Amino acid sequence: MYKKILITAGAAAMLFSGCASIVDGGKQKVNFQAAQPVNIVIDGMQYSAPAVIEINRSKSDKIVNVPECNKNVILKSETNGWFWGNIIFGGLLGSTTDYSTDAMWQYDQDTVNINCN
C-alpha cells in the first residue's frame, strides 16, 4: 500500500511540475560587469554594479537604466529551451506550470558589460 501511494505521489509531482520551473525557476542571475562602480535601476530598484543580480523572469523585455552613463540596456525576453522539452515530455500540465510561473521565459544575456563611453 505504501509503495502505491509513493508511486502515485511521484507521478502526480511529475505531471504537475514544469521542467523550466524545476531547472531554472522564476528568476535569472545576470552578471552586470563594469570597469568602475555604477548604479543601475531595474524594475524601480537600485543596485550597484559590478554585481550578480537575480531578476524576475517575465515575458516582457527588461530595461536596465544606467543613470550615470545616461543610457539604458535592454535584456530581451525569449522562450526558455526547457519549456519546449517540457511540452514534448511533460505535456499540457507541465507547460502550463512553466507559463504561469514565468519560468518559460529567459533573458538573452547572462552577462552585461556596462561601459559609460
* pLDDT one digit per residue (tens) for the chain, 117 residues: 666 654 544 444 444 444 444 455 578 899 999 999 999 999 999 999 999 999 988 889 999 999 999 999 999 998 777 666 666 666 655 556 655 555 677 889 999 999 887
pLDDT of residue 63: 95
| Alpha-carbon 112 to chain mean position | 15
The whole-angstrom separation of Cα 30 and Cα 8 is 38
Task: Return d(Cα 64, Cα 24) in angstroms, integer.
Answer: 21
Q: In this structure, how many other beta carbons lie within 10 angstroms of the beta carbon of residue 90? A: 23
